[in-house]
Copies of this chain bind each other. A is one copy, B any other.
Amino acid sequence: MNKSNAWTAETVAIGSELLLGGRLDTNSLFIANCLAASGIELRYKTTVGDDLSDMVTVLKAAARRVRVVIITGGLGPTVDDLTREAVAQATGHRLVRRKAALDEMTARLAQWGRTPTTSQFRQARIPSGADILSNPVGTAPGFALVWNGTFFAALPGVPREMEPMLREGVLPRLHAWMPTQKVKPAMPMIRRVLHTSGVPESVVDQKLAGLVPQKSSVQLGIYASPMEVMVSLTGPAGAEGSVVLERLFEEANAKLGDIVYGQEADTMESVVGRLLNEQRMTLAAAESCTGGLIGHRLTQVPGSSSYVDRVVVCYSNRAKIELLGVPPDLIDRHGAVSAEVAAAMARGIRERSGVSVGLSVTGIAGPGGATETKPVGLVHVGLDGGPGQAMTKEFRFHGGDRSVIKQRASQAALDLLRRWLLQNRLA
């Protein structure tokens, strides 16, 4: 056993399909934040297929290296759902049909006018001695047990079932169990996050050089992805600790300045939406190379119908002329990918829709469409907020495929809008 004398955790995601990737994992951040607030650090994340012996191998390895294991998935009613068997086998328990689990499942199904099927009875077979965790949303109960000094919780993989079960079922049991263990007391941690846009990781790194003293208990993290560079500060949550963390957070925010677009769970589209709402403004967008991604992102925000009036994706020149009133000779003279056309698109969409502000993007997402003077990744963004309030900006995005260029172009356009809305608020 090489478990350290500290509160560490591992997540184990069950499912052969997960081994192949291609799905967005939204559970880890939620689990990591819940655990961090309890003083437990997420150190490993393991994925394993629906193979009983592989699952047992993984659970045993986790028990050797961490104090807390959060398992997601494999609790369904089919023969492929083997989490119950795997935990029982790894920890030397028997599976027992538990009346409490069965009753709850039967009651939930009755609400929907159904009765348990034979295969659903499997879901009530829980390792003996384990605590049953109620599922307030679905039929699969979870469970929690302690083995060899490690706390195991098994939860469904679906976020809207997993999240309340972790919060209401797992955390209280974990908090009651932790003080009984001979591990140094947990140090609850806080994590603060800033999101920046428009500059590379190296610039963020430089701006924050020397922010956190060498022997500080606060850790700085800088993470780059195609659309942003994220900055995190993690430190002890106690009264004194949170003052230190808060001061560093404010300092980081000040050092980074206007490249910071949001905090914590903010997205660029939620920030822009908030600013539009605040100023009671409406928005219309005219997209070319982003192909609808700006509209899609804006409308991911609940309530966006109060400020998004319309979006038009004008892939053809004819559509640019008909829907936005872009003069044909402007396209002839400067090309569809030009500052001039971006400006005309933004003005056109604003005037025709009667909104407060028009936003436009035209560019070359590739792989085709490049010319000698206009390479893949060239993007012009336009904004028109009425007379005297028009601007365009040129971007050259290097080293990404079509999908990455669309992402970066949409981010650049929304960031231009964000900056204009901020200026406007001050004016």
Total identical chains? 2
Tell whether A299 is near chain B: CB-to-CB under 8 Å.
yes
Contacts of A287 in B (CB 8 A): 292, 295
Q: How far apart are the CA atoms of A232 and B177 in the complex, in Å?
A: 43
Interface pair B48/A20, CB less than 8 Å apart: no
Tell whether A319 is near chain B: CB-to-CB under 8 Å.
yes
Interface pair B32/A20, CB less than 8 Å apart: yes
Q: How far apart are the CA atoms of A309 and B318 in the complex, in Å?
A: 8
Contact flags A1-21 to B (C-beta < 8 A → 1, else 0): 010000000000000111111
Question: What's the least CB distance linking A263 to chain B, in Å?
Answer: 16
Contacts of A45 in B (CB 8 A): 18-19, 21, 46-48
Question: What's the least CB distance linking A65 to chain B, in Å?
Answer: 6
Question: What's the least CB distance linking A314 to chain B, in Å?
Answer: 5
Question: What's the least CB distance linking A133 to chain B, in Å?
Answer: 20
Question: What's the least CB distance linking A143 to chain B, in Å?
Answer: 23
Contacts of A167 in B (CB 8 A): none
Tell whether A371 is near chain B: CB-to-CB under 8 Å.
no
Question: What's the least CB distance linking A17 to chain B, in Å?
Answer: 4
Question: What's the least CB distance linking A304 to chain B, in Å?
Answer: 8
Contacts of A353 in B (CB 8 A): 319, 322
Kindly identify, within residues 42 to 61 of chain A, every residue whose CB is under 8 Å from any CB belonging to chain B.
Answer: 42-49, 51, 54, 57-58, 61
Interface residues on A, range: 35 or more
Kindly identify, within residues 368 to 395 of chain A, every residue whose CB is under 8 Å from any CB belonging to chain B.
Answer: 368-369
Smallest CB-CB separation from A401: which chain B residue?
B160
Interface pair B58/A44, CB less than 8 Å apart: yes
Interface pair B302/A291, CB less than 8 Å apart: no
Contacts of A84 in B (CB 8 A): none
Contacts of A295 in B (CB 8 A): 287, 291-293, 295-296, 313
Tell whether A22 is near chain B: CB-to-CB under 8 Å.
yes
Contacts of A323 in B (CB 8 A): 310, 312, 323
User: Could you say which of A23-31, A236-244, A273-281, A327-335 contacts chain B?
Assistant: A23-31
Tell whether A367 is near chain B: CB-to-CB under 8 Å.
yes
Tell whether A403 is near chain B: CB-to-CB under 8 Å.
yes
Contacts of A297 in B (CB 8 A): 292
